[in-house]
């Protein structure tokens, strides 16, 4: 955020006006309709949709942060995050609207003039019927997870307001011709939106960690150890809507980078002209539509997450080799349509927890056993190197069903007491003695999460799973270990769960 920027009264009034609009959800299927080489015309129309939809979502974030419960809105880091969203809102609403002359209008809308009346219904309304997204209690029956959809309850009262929403009845994807020469204005506007979104994305890279620090500041100010239910509900909604915003921005940036152009098509045809020549790299790229992979290989993603988690573990504990992680998967690769970035994040966070639990639970016992077997009475536990200890392995089991792809991560890390199981889903609950503190001017773009300490890994991972209709569950055996079950919806039919 640039120095000297401020949230003016006029800008706040504009933000609150947009915050009254209803959001328009975008389904995974709609996002992949662009194909691996999207038409610049489709990107142009999607850019217009994004420039109208994102300010609504950003405005809601600013309003929510200004009204965060129990004084959380006054925390310095919360104010910093709020100002990031307000500045991004201002940048998007300040963009000049593209001029569409008669010739361009024919190219864009010739095949899309007829729209059935049922397509005018906001797909977000369908979320009301999704029990998995609107449950009042999580399945452990203890943690209340209310999702506020109060604006649906007043749908009739606010109908005029919904009609006035800039994106009411509009779609993210609209089919347009590919093999034509699009006018310069189309490419210019696509580039303008791409550059604006790239700047906004970078600004918000550290939002999760900065908001976590805001909660930490609130806890210190209020002399409390745990996050209560109202703050928990607020953070669930805050982080879930952030996932939606990041998904739209990331997808649109990636689509812009892969949009088709006549020159690019000729070069691709020249380089890959022979149908007999197979190129695994180009084939893998053809599986991607933006950040979504239409043939996401679960086993390969799991292997990447395993290697990353092991590397972080080895760096943190000074190990030559982390505890072993066994991957158990069917012989035939399991592939489905998903966002690899989401999947690797969920697996990495869960594996990181299992590695830490395994090492810290078994180290005292294994050191004692090592000393006994060494026959050296002068040897002390602090003298025993962790690299000399043999830790039990962690198992990652992948299973494929008709509706779900399930991944179980099973460790022998001592488990969690039953009284603490509900707490693992609360923000900033951590078993680490000292929570890491961010420097006032840390580098947002290069920020890396530590091995442990912020206490948002599992709650955020569960939101990632729920975003596309899945879930993350945990079963623990105190004194032995923990099983984490990650359920992924393979039907790819769900729309965004708009809070």
Which residue numbers are catalytic?
Answer: 345, 349, 352-353
Instruction: Please give the structure tokens belonging to residue 116.
Output: 């059935």
Nearest to 453 by CA among 471, 473, 475, 427: 427
Phi, psi for residue 474 in degrees, rounded to 5: -140, 135
Cβ-contact 229, 144 below 8 angstroms:
yes
For strands 325-328 and 288-289, give the pairing: unpaired
Cβ-contact 289, 259 below 8 angstroms:
no
Tell me the three state secondary structure of residue 294. strand
Tell me the three state secondary structure of residue 425. helix
Cβ-contact 82, 18 below 8 angstroms:
no
Cβ-contact 65, 78 below 8 angstroms:
yes
Instruction: Please give the structure tokens belonging to residue 83.
Output: 């100002």
SS percent in the chain: helix, strand, coil, step 5:
50, 10, 40
Tell me the three state secondary structure of residue 236. helix
Q: How far apart are CA 109 and CA 174, in angstroms?
A: 9
Cα 197 from chain centroid (whole Å): 16
Phi, psi for residue 234 in degrees, rounded to 5: -60, -45
Place of tokens 């639970």: 361
Give the ranges where 258-396 is alpha helix by DSSP (H): 262-271, 280-286, 298-317, 340-374
């Amino acid at each position: 955020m640039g120095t000297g920027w401020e949230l003016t009264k006029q800008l706040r009034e504009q933000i609150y006006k947009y915050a009254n609009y209803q959001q328009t959800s975008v389904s995974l299927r709609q996002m992949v309709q662009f194909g691996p080489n999207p038409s610049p015309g489709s990107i142009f129309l999607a850019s217009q949709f994004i420039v109208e939809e994102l300010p609504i979502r950003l405005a809601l974030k600013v309003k929510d942060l200004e009204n965060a419960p129990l004084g959380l809105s006054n925390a310095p880091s919360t104010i910093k995050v709020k100002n990031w969203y307000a500045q991004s809102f201002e940048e998007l609403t300040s963009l000049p609207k593209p001029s569409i002359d008669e010739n361009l209008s024919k190219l864009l809308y010739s095949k899309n003039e007829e729209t059935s009346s049922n397509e005018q219904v906001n797909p977000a309304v369908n979320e009301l019927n999704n029990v998995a997204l609107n449950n009042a209690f999580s399945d452990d029956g203890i943690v209340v997870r209310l999702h506020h959809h109060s604006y649906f309850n007043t749908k009739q009262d606010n109908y005029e307001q919904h009609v006035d929403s800039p994106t009411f009845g509009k779609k993210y994807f609209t089919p347009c011709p590919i093999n034509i020469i699009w006018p310069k204005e189309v490419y210019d506007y696509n580039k303008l939106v791409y550059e604006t979104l790239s700047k906004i994305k970078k600004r918000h890279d550290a939002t999760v960690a900065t908001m976590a620090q805001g909660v930490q500041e609130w806890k210190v100010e209020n002399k409390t150890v745990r996050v209560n239910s109202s703050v928990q509900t607020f953070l669930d909604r805050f982080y879930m809507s952030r996932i939606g915003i990041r998904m739209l921005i990331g997808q649109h940036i990636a689509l812009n980078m892969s949009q088709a152009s006549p020159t690019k098509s000729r070069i691709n045809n020249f380089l890959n002209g022979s149908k007999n020549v197979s190129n695994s790299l180009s084939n893998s790229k053809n599986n991607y539509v933006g950040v979504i992979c239409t043939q996401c290989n679960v086993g390969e993603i799991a292997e990447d997450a395993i290697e990353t988690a092991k590397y972080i573990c080895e760096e943190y504990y000074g190990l030559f080799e982390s505890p072993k992680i066994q991957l158990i998967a069917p012989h035939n690769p399991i592939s489905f349509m998903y966002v690899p970035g989401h999947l690797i994040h969920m697996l990495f966070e869960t594996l990181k927890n299992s590695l830490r639990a395994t090492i810290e639970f078994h180290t005292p016992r294994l050191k004692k056993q090592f000393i006994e077997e060494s026959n050296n009475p002068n040897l002390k536990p602090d003298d025993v190197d962790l690299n000399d200890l043999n830790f039990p392995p962690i198992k990652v089991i992948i299973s494929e069903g008709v509706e779900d792809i399930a991944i179980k991560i099973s460790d022998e890390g001592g488990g969690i007491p039953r009284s603490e199981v509900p707490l693992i889903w609360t923000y900033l609950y951590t078993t680490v003695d000292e929570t890491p503190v961010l420097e006032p001017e840390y580098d947002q773009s290069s920020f890396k999460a530590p091995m442990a300490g912020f206490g948002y890994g599992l709650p955020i991972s569960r939101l990632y799973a729920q975003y596309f209709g899945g879930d993350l569950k945990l079963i623990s055996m105190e004194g032995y270990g923990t099983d984490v079950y990650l359920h992924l919806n393979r039907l790819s039919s769900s729309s965004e769960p708009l809070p």
